[in-house]
Amino acid sequence: MTRRRWIADEVRDNTAALVGEHAAHLSRVLRAQLGQQFDIAAGATVRRGTITAISQDRIEFALGEEIVSPKIGSEPAADVTLLLSIFKFDRMEWAIEKCTELGVARIVPVIAQRTDAHLAAAAAKRHERWQRLVRQAAEQSRRATPPEITAPLKLKEAIQCDGLRIVLAESEEDATLPGVLTGHHPGTEVSLAIGPEGGWTADELKLFCGAGWAPVSLGATILRAETAAIAAIAITTSILGERQCSPSAE
């Protein structure tokens, strides 16, 4: 049976620990026991961890041998940044979770012109919650590290990216995402920008094009923002070399 994976909050030599709510979930909800073993992502490696101490807000592990498996836990070959415009939080957080499972490297929440003012004002307070969300999704999908998720940025700040830059645009009729990606090698640094409900404004698309972003289409149908984000990440990781995934045993 596949052991559950945890991403350590603290690592020192041959010991690691989960702290705070992270530890509380394992101790209270999953009823951790001394001697129980898990896979522990400890920086750049994943090692077998045996529980040596349990308290309400801290669980400590003794780290054993490094775990090497070509089928689970490898990191994505594609280096993908997702610029995700802020929209209704429940649907946005579902997209964040699924894009983490698909291998996105970093997520930048973006305040766009059509972002609801109340959501924009509340977004900064959601950052800590989003960090917990990507860590949980990374653990569930057996990644060694969670994606970086930044504090919300305005579009002019967010578009300052390197590498191949692609903006999803409903108005684009010719260029497609697979067409733009084909021919680029695994490991290519890619940034994908997904607009809010209602899409990007004409002024925002001009800003993207002026900064060297290529507009592309995902097809003839109009997708919800969360669907577009998941589809775009899935297509990109598939073409540029996705990490190997295994079905969840949970």
Q: What is the CATH number of the domain that holds 197?
A: 3.40.1280.10
* pLDDT over 90 at 144, yes or no: no
Task: Identify which of 18, 19, 15, 12 has the alpha carbon closest to the alpha carbon of residue 63.
Answer: 15
Quote the CA–CA distance of 228 and 232 in Å, as a whole number: 6
* pLDDT over 50 at 125, yes or no: yes
Q: Lowest mean pLDDT: which of 141-145, 192-196, 238-242?
A: 238-242
Quote the CA–CA distance of 224 and 85 in Å, as a whole number: 12
Quote the CA–CA distance of 205 and 101 in Å, as a whole number: 29
Same domain? For 93 and 185 the reply is yes
Largest CA distance in the chain: 59
222 burial (CB, 10 Å; 0-12 / 13-18 / 19+) is: exposed
Composition of the chain by helix, strand, coil, percent to 5 = 35, 30, 40
Mean pLDDT of 7-30: 88
* pLDDT over 60 at 179, yes or no: yes
Same domain? For 87 and 61 the reply is no
Instruction: List Cβ neighbours of 185 (8 Å cut-off, separation of 6 or more).
Output: 240
Residue with token string 């990374």: 138
* pLDDT over 50 at 48, yes or no: yes
Does a structural domain hold residue 249?
no
Same domain? For 117 and 170 the reply is yes
Q: Is-contact 147 107, C-beta < 8 A? A: yes
Exposure on the CB side of residue 223, measured as CA atoms within 13 A: 17
- Residue-averaged pLDDT of the chain: 88
Instruction: List Cβ neighbours of 162 (8 Å cut-off, separation of 6 or more).
Output: 189, 191
Quote the CA–CA distance of 137 and 233 in Å, as a whole number: 15
Same domain? For 22 and 97 the reply is no
Quote the CA–CA distance of 113 and 57 in Å, as a whole number: 41
Same domain? For 90 and 170 the reply is yes
Confidence class for position 26, pLDDT limits 50, 70, 90: confident
Same domain? For 94 and 190 the reply is yes
**Where in the sequence is the domain holding 47, given as residue range(s)?**
5-66
Does a structural domain hold residue 246?
no
The predicted pLDDT at position 145 comes to 87
Confidence class for position 23, pLDDT limits 50, 70, 90: confident
Question: Can you give the pTM of this predicted structure?
Answer: 0.81
Confidence class for position 199, pLDDT limits 50, 70, 90: very high
The predicted pLDDT at position 246 comes to 40
**Comparing 32 with 192, which gets the higher pLDDT?**
192
Mean pLDDT of 153-166: 94
The predicted pLDDT at position 249 comes to 39
Inter-CA distances, 198 with 126, 128, 173, 194, Å:
22, 27, 17, 11
> What's the structural domain count of the chain?
2
Task: Identify which of 80, 61, 54 has the alpha carbon closest to the alpha carbon of residue 5.
Answer: 61
